[in-house]
Amino acid sequence: MVEGIDISKWQSNIDWDAVANDGVQFAFIRTNHGIGDLDERYAYNWAEAKRVGILRGTYQYWLPAEDPIEQANILIDRMSDFGETDLPPVLDVEESQGVSAQDMVADIHVWMDHVQAAIGVKPIIYTAKYFWQDGVGMPDDFLDHALWVANYNVDCPLIADPWLRWSFWQYTSTGSIAGISGNVDRDHFNGTREDLLAFIDVAHNGDPDPDPDPDPDPDPDPDPDPDPDPDPDPDPDGVPDGEPLLGCATAPGGTGGTGGLVLLLLVGLAQSARRSRATDKAR
């Protein structure tokens, strides 16, 4: 897995050269906390992360009691030089402020749609399993958005239902990194660096071959297996090879690249089937 951090003004003056030399490969940088609290270190941190070659993304601590469009515009305006090597921006969903789950879901849609229309990239959602469950109501509206999940002091994160896989995991709030005084949030990306670069590329440019042409001349009557196994051994844990367990997937395929993209495709198909079953039950 790839090591990263997320930071804000609370990390004060950061020596980004030292951070890069300590193995940090990506960073999410806070731009604001609601409408009234703009992070005064954002512009510096945003520029410095790029200068030292750290993959960068912007996150916004979202306040559901405030206007979602006004909050979205703050993020859009402040990351004005957002480019194709940058991570998708993040909506940090961790506080309800007494807003109902139904209204939160509606405003998350408003924020997501507005940001995506402005920058052409689908944002990431940051949350934690039990807040998404109890505060937001476990909607399945956002399964096509990558999940960044928070879960500390565990070997494997609890993923927020109904996602089947996490993309980023904030695994501690008390990490230590050269160039940063005091505690800092630390994160993993669920894959290799090659997978992370592919994740960014697909976010900006789409899947280069989402629906390959079928075999133009398939064999109409292929020979059957001459000796099929009448009772193949089931997978010992009941989960197909390569599927994540409780969010514990690591570097898909072992070498990244193709393995990671294939796993994402399989997970997407599983999620589509899950939504289809849910729709059938509701009819």
- Going by C-alpha positions, the residue among 19, 268, 21, 73 that lies closest to residue 167 is 268
The single-letter DSSP state of residue 10 is: G
Report the C-alpha gap between 43 and 91 in whole angstroms.
18
List the alpha helices (DSSP H) in the chain: 16-21, 42-51, 68-78, 101-119, 129-134, 193-205, 258-282
List, as own/partner pairs, every contact residues 150-156 make where C-beta atoms lie below 8 angstroms and the sequence separation is at least 24, other chains included: 150/94, 150/126, 155/248, 156/245, 156/246, 156/247, 156/248
Q: How far apart are the first and last CA of the chain?
A: 42
Partnered with residue 172 across adjacent β-strands are: 186
Cα–Cα distance measured from residue 197 to residue 87, given in angstroms and rounded to the nearest whole number: 9
Backbone angles phi, psi at 273, to 5 degrees: -65, -40
Distance of alpha carbon 125 from alpha carbon 145, whole angstroms: 7
> Is 243 an annotated catalytic residue?
no
* CA gap 74, 81 in Å, rounded: 14
* CB environment 229-243: b (16+ within 10 A), e (fewer): eeeeeeeeeeeeeeb
**Which candidate in 66, 94, 95, 243 is catalytic?**
94
The C-alpha angle 145, 148, 152, rounded to 5 degrees, equals 155
Are the C-beta atoms of 147 and 157 separated by less than 8 Å? no
> Would you say 42 and 75 are in contact if contact means Cβ atoms under 8 Å apart?
no
For the annotated catalytic residues, the residue numbers are 94
